A and B are shown apart, each in its own frame.
Chain A
């Protein structure tokens, strides 16, 4: 029965290969908890998941874009822009000079406006890509600068402090977005969890999700099969813009202040999480669950290395190596299968 056990060995190896990101995550967690007594403390884990949540939310939106064969470099800038839009509306209101009035919106309306701004910038990205045929890298690189510039212009480069609002204006409660929530888990973590469930459903159990995979897998075949390729592309960038806006709101709420530089280089972390999660940058292949695992690997790695006192410079080296190693394994698996 040598052949039998060999084939069993092979399938076990294939399973390990398939779940390698998850296994790597478990190994990292075990290693860090052995090396550092602080790792498994409630306070550390709470910080850890809050950090992970921010990256994971961006990465979920990014996954849709990458699955469709695109890339979104503007997520960090959109987060920054939406944060200051919300911050400005909360702390200074909307001044209508023609009428000489300043309007303060209810907190939830502010949140909705900020989300709408994020989706609008995403729609602009999608329009550039889908209708004008601009390469996604270029279109979203442009938005990266424009949205960041717009954020800086909104505040004049300064920070909007004190977003607590006032009861008189009816706009209190913004800080809730960054605070602890049900079951002691921070609200951002709940947001991440709900978003992840919705994204998994959207990607795996709806016509739209399937069409995203099809467009990324073979755009021309999708087009000839009747898939509205342009519409699909537009929507993935809108989704990414929505996720970016969520992150901008969460960070502003956590800090109680909106800073226009918020989110710089976040796009790279988000892309790294997607790639670590096994999604192909060529499009058409990947999962939301993989992206979540990828975001946790990055988060655990960063957190653990900090606890171990590894210098920030070495952390960057390690992160880079892990990303490249993950992709090399990916290639290896694809070639062997």
Chain B
């Protein structure tokens, strides 16, 4: 703890390489974190930010490279190794136990004990209360059940969970994605307070202005490499965007955008109340024409998924108007919407897209069983005859159509889910993050397929947080921020700057949908 001026670098990563199943996530990354500083990590989805953070936290072991703490090489074989050196991580997805109390959550796995070996409740409660006070949330009771707290309060608990133990390095992966705009300054105050006490912080966020407000240093990652490191005072948003996207905006495909047809989907005033774990939607209105490939751009927590799910009728408490091809859709019956001509490719392939117990063919036909059966008889031959052209058209690489869908790679699984949506011959296809966790080759094929479908007259909405992808593929771009539509741009006007600023804009009148009474 003495002489911080001698070794200001607390944590250093040298030439870190991380390979997942043949995909290079990090390709030789150098990274230094100085004592009492906030170091921001920036990059597009898949640039390697979260992977680097996980390596620093001991969650993932690097394929190559070294980690140094206070100038000494240390192996981080596990989270415990990192924790023993005072390194803690706050995850993007909350990792709390909703049915346990706040004080139980703060000490899970590291309970304080009395000399009889029982849990020292009083000591835990005091420590919990002190930590919550320090975070400016003395109102959260240590005895409250975590599931009963608001999402913002849960985020504070997640942070408190790291702070209640002695930390020297705090790794924060999008800590503000669940916070209201009123809660963000409180977090920043906490961060400044921590740095004054010598704690160092690595901070990931997609909100660039926010980063520049809190960071001392900025490192930009692209495709698993560091493409820029600078003191935050010397950089601005254009500098960051330029490096994130790799210079000039990628070239557009030369093909002229197909002439858009009539409006096929008209959404007016779509509103969704706030609930734990989801972003509220505030009177979102847009339309989609036949043959349009509409990009829905927004950062994590902007409400893209909620918008798509609401149009699809997943949430029973939505209000507003959804008109598909002249017919107003009411209620919340996903099955009826599929019959009406909507189809959805969900964001989370494993949790919401694939039926893991079914074969490739059975996954593809799942939304079209009614059309495929004759008098209630579903012939396996008719099924594979119908599924084959789709699988081939999307270049699904599979040993056979009868192979279990779990045998396929992520990109091919994604194509299977896409094929299911396409097979139901929808008028409008809603695709949520179709290229997330997909290798580059499959990414291109999926985007090409979407273009082709649009050219055939389908209306397509595809949500993404990937700036370059939305620019390269879309014919029109909608931008969301905090549950609202903040821009509707033809692709010619959808520059990186315009998209980034629309995506990080905060509604001027109040603290966003969460902040209202």
Interaction A to B: yes
Residue numbers of A with Cβ under 8 A of B are 205-207, 209-211, 213-214, 216-218, 220-228, 280, 283-285
A residues near B86, Cβ cutoff 8 Å:
none
Most buried by B among A205, A213, A217: A217
B343 to chain A, nearest CB (A): 8
B residues in contact with A221, CB < 8 Å: 346, 351-355
Query: Are B369's CB and A211's CB within 8 A?
Result: yes
Q: Which residues of B contact A211 (CB under 8 A)?
A: 369
Inter-chain CA distance A207–B354, complex, in Å, is 17
User: Chain B interface: which size bin?
Assistant: 20 to 34
Q: Which partner residue on chain A sits nearest B365 by CB separation?
A: A210
User: Interface majority SS on A: helix, strand, loop or mixed?
Assistant: helix
* Contact (A224, B357) CB under 8 Å given A206-B378, A211-B369: no
Cross-chain contact of B355 among A226, A280, A284 (Cβ < 8 A) = A284
Subset of 22 A-B contacts with CB under 8 Å: A205-B379, A206-B373, A207-B369, A207-B372, A207-B373, A207-B376, A210-B362, A213-B358, A214-B358, A214-B362, A220-B351, A220-B352, A221-B354, A222-B355, A224-B353, A225-B367, A226-B334, A226-B338, A226-B343, A226-B367, A227-B335, A285-B357
Q: How far is the CA of A285 from the CA of B362 in the complex (A)?
A: 13
Query: What is the CB-to-nearest-CB distance from A283 to chain B, in angstroms, rounded to a whole number?
Result: 8
Which residues of B (284-319) have their CB < 8 Å from a CB of A?
312, 314
Interface positions of B (Cβ within 8 A of A): 312, 314, 333-335, 337-339, 343-344, 346, 351-358, 362, 365-367, 369-370, 372-373, 376-380, 420, 424
Tell me whether B357 and A284 are in contact (CB under 8 A). Answer: yes
- Tell me how far the C-beta of B382 lies from the nearest C-beta in chain A, rounded to whole angstroms: 11
- Nearest 9 pairs between A and B by C-beta? A226-B338, A217-B357, A284-B357, A207-B369, A217-B355, A218-B355, A228-B335, A225-B366, A225-B367
Question: Would you call A226 and B339 a contact (CB within 8 A)?
Answer: yes
List B contacts of A210 (CB < 8 A). 358, 362, 365-366, 369, 378
- Can you add 11 more A-B contacts, CB < 8 Å, to A211-B369, A221-B355, A225-B367? A206-B373, A206-B377, A213-B358, A214-B366, A217-B357, A221-B351, A221-B352, A222-B366, A224-B314, A280-B357, A284-B357
Across the A-B interface, how many residue pairs have beta carbons closer than 8 Å? 84
B369 — which chain A residues lie within 8 A by C-beta?
207, 210-211
* Bound Cα distance A82, B57 (Å): 62
Residues in B neighbouring A225, C-beta threshold 8 A: 338, 366-367, 420
Is B334 a contact of A223 with CB atoms below 8 Å? Answer: yes
**Chain A residues with CB under 8 A of B367:** 225-226
Docked Cα-Cα span, A328 to B426, in Å, equals 44
A283 CA / B362 CA spacing, docked (Å):
16
- Taken together as a complex, chains A and B put the C-alpha atoms of A210 and B380 apart, in Å, by 11
Residues of chain A with a CB closer than 8 A to B358's CB? 210, 213-214, 217, 284
The complex places the Cα of A285 from the Cα of B406 at a distance, in Å, of 14
